[in-house]
Structure 1
Amino acid sequence: MTEPGAWLTSAPKPGRIAGYLGLAVLGFVVGTAGSLVQTAWFPGGLLLALLGTAGAFYGGLRATGTQLGVLAPAAGWIVAVLLLSAGRPEGDGLFAGGLGEIVFLLGGMAVAVICATMTRLPQPGGPGGRLGT
């Protein structure tokens, strides 16, 4: 069985760059969708937005096997959230400034940190795996 992220380390450099850019775009889309959903369907939308955020970050970690796999979607997510939270000169903004928005911002950042600091789990059949013993 291959290591998680072996497709990125064995791929030529343009393939790895494209993979990480794809994860950044995924993070941007998840951040945009989460910003809209958490406001529209509070409190269920907030939970759904945070679960989607965690899925993107953890999925990047599992797909690449590296911390950069978490950083790429987290960077896209934070760009989307910051762009949508910045108000226009007319005073219009997507975020209303309530508790839900603060929980979404801080919760998403906390999920990114948690996923980036997770240890790699042993693979079945590999060294330390259950099937190999």
Structure 2
Amino acid sequence: MSGSGARQARPPKAARVAAYLGLVVLGAAVGSAGSLVQAAWFPLGLLLALLGTAGLFYGGLRATGTQLGVVAPAAGWVASVLLLSAGRPEGDGLFAGGLGEIVFLFGGAVLAVMCATMTRLPQPGGSSGRLGE
């Protein structure tokens, strides 16, 4: 009956909310780790941080099958990166303001937009690729 286009039941709302909240937390963790790595091992650290960010955003899209699967980790990523880039009253800040930091900030934003606007390929066997199907 999988070839007839019958849709399977969606996962419970609590499971979807938990998945999206988990993606927000994971986005904050990847943003924090990327902020540290991109400055420590420039330029390979920058590449590693952007690859991790792209993997998170694309993985969220594939796991949930919705654009919200990209927006949730992107929100956590942006929040952590902005908090880490804001200086403290003493003048301390994680970002020094060089080219690597700018590429990381804008590159991550571009990756989020690219993943959110990707077309979702149909899954073999008629599954939509959504969480729980």
More deviation in 104-113 or 114-123?
A: 114-123
Any idea what the Cα deviations from partners look like across 1:36-71, whole Å, max 9, x if unmatched?
000000000000000000000000000000000000
* Matched AA of 1:56: L
Structure 2 unaligned residues grouped into runs of 5+: 128-133
Q: Which residue of 2 aligns with 1:74?
A: 74
Aligned residues: 122
The gaps in structure 1 that reach 5 residues or longer are: 128-133
Question: How far did 1:125 drift?
Answer: 3.4
Q: Give me the whole-angstrom Cα distance separating, in 2, the residues matched to 1:122 and 1:66.
A: 13
Tell me the amino acid that sits aligned with residue 120 of structure 2: R
CA distance in structure 2 between the aligned counterparts of 1:126 and 1:56, rounded to whole angstroms: 25
Corresponding position of 2:32: 32
Match of 1:108 in 2: 108
Partner Cα separation in structure 1 for residue 99 and residue 75 of structure 2 = 23
Deviation at 1:92, TM superposition (A): 0.2
The percent identity for this pair of structures is 78
- TM-score, scaled to structure 1: 0.87
Secondary structure at 1:59 match in 2: helix
- Tell me, in whole angstroms, the C-alpha distance in 1 between the residues paired with 2:126 and 2:75: 32
Q: Could you tell me which residue of structure 1 aligns to residue 63 of structure 2?
A: 63
* Superposed counterparts of 1:1-133, under 5 Å: 10-126=10-126
Give the AA of the match of 1:63. Answer: A
Q: C-alpha displacement at 1:124, in angstroms?
A: 2.2
| CA distance in structure 2 between the partners assigned to 1:125 and 1:92 by the alignment | 54
User: What is aligned with 1:130?
Assistant: none
Distance 1:124 1:73 in 2: 26
Whichever residue aligns with residue 59 of structure 1, its letter is G
Name the SS for the 1:125 alignment partner.
helix
Runs of 4+ in 1 over 4 A off after TM superposition: none
* SS of match in other structure, 2:66: coil
User: Which position in structure 1 is the counterpart of 2:131?
Assistant: none
Question: Alpha-carbon deviation of 1:96?
Answer: 0.4
